[in-house]
Structure 1
């Protein structure tokens, strides 16, 4: 209730926000002035768009591999090799998706860097921002750019009108069905195998033990779930399932097997491998909901184009109300359920406090209360830190009110600073 209350009538004086959990605080961004946040957000948005535009180069190269005629024009010396049936199957079938997956491996670290520069004060907020950036990036570059570069641009220089977009998508998506199916195999199934084996942490552990001679395994149990890489991949496959189910239903068995296997793999990883350091409050559910609704809308637009090509006016007439109902349902969900994810309800917080009181853990909470939001690297001695807290009530009166207002250190080692 305090977080939702306006602290002052002057909007330029105080800016309040919910504090993240102590383990969720990203200390590197605490000192960023509030006036710089909007500049940082605009700068990261522009950088993300530029990165997406630059990434068109490898995507166009990948699409050139799927079209042998264009590849022979670009690389005439490969004309003899491309007459071999096995080489044709490898080059046009599996190689493009593998190259695209390798290029996409560089996207999550770059987007995580952009999200850190953006100024989020919590690790979960930084990772959630990176998740959205990676999701937009993959949907645009994996689906739309591949469809446009592979089919539409090779046929038309520009669209004659916006009304032709559903028909052009209906023509273009089937031609890329083989590429998308191969992408599910190379990016989906292979990623699950890598997730189970944990190749990167294994190699890092071997490097520490063999090269650096480090025998301490304290850092080995600090793995956290990579939301910014896994959630965009899952939502992308759901998007491909919705959009390609009408024109390329043979992809659905591969996707269904992926989701079944992903449920088993991620369930095991979350329970037995990854360590939960903080709770983000279900902030990823609105992202999943919005992406699913967007997938439905794109699938319905493609269906509208298919019915238009079939000259079925009755089916097209029923598809338009379906689009309107989907948008109305999305708006209804935003009005009814989105406030739940913005802040916890008072009843939930009261129940949590009551459980803590009944379990007898309130004393432990009070002990860690003063040091919870202290940066561990700046605390000189944990024993003195605890001792100072135990004597807090006795020594607080030793400091005058003038010293407190000036932000001078108190006798027990604590600083009382008033911010405005």
Structure 2
């Protein structure tokens, strides 16, 4: 008889700001994403708190009146964790904890926690551990007493549980050791990349949860873990793929996110090296997400930071099966048509019309999938024959696309 296990979600609240740089709609959108992050980490959001401010309060992030409201709600509803949408300074975290008397984590800590859950290989775990220690180092004074009170749960995975008694010197030594370990693994991975031969390298990039792993499974007929949660995939997966008569290497990489912690960008340097060394990028976009254009901008920002923005790229607009525009009734003369009301046909007439290498698909249902495979084949073939002109006879101009 198979025992059914019931997942117990941690009761949490979310706290965010509405500022001159982040209006009410944008704030709601970020909190939606933060709620999905909390759910991914094992939290159940009971309530959201937002406040309009010109800038975060340097002592407590939100104002004293709003903090009193939050404290009352925490006490009355037995809330275990308060999650803030922006990174808190060590002083803010310490002050807030004294007032709310519950676990206080910020967006960065939450993302690090999810990475700690999802890291499967020794390499990924080392990367996450390094990022966690670098985040914890300036927060040691207040964190250890806090950890003695609250064991386990969101934000408490990784080094925190076993290193309560440590001091800054030990943490710094650990950071140095982890960096040396990563350098050694980086060199090994560099050799592995060099040993892959002359095959063209294609990398899947995109915002988290846009369907990269599902697309990887569909195109390579492999079983890469895919789930409707943020950061389902951390470990880089490389598969040899053959389309028609043309082999190439396809890499699935970690998803990007807005407000990505700088510690993770640095510690996942080698994972991003797979993107740097790719010959072609498949930029996967969830067309069904209302903020997909912001997601594209966030990914392009990271690509620019790692000097990969100018690489040949195919824009893959995924999840067309889930796309539903808002409707305007025929007799509604007041509602102005916005991008929220655009059909896929409307979108294709916008800036996407200028994208030569853009295609709309559903990786899950394989809608428009043959056209996608042909487009990838053409781009990989162009790169191959440019690099190895003596092999042109293998891939003549006439299309050699056969299953």
TM-score, structure 2 length as denominator? 0.25
Based on CA coordinates, which of the two structures has the bigger radius of gyration? 1
More strand by share: 2
TM-score, structure 1 length as denominator? 0.24
User: Which structure is richer in relative contact order (CA contacts within 8 A, separation 6 or more)?
Assistant: 1
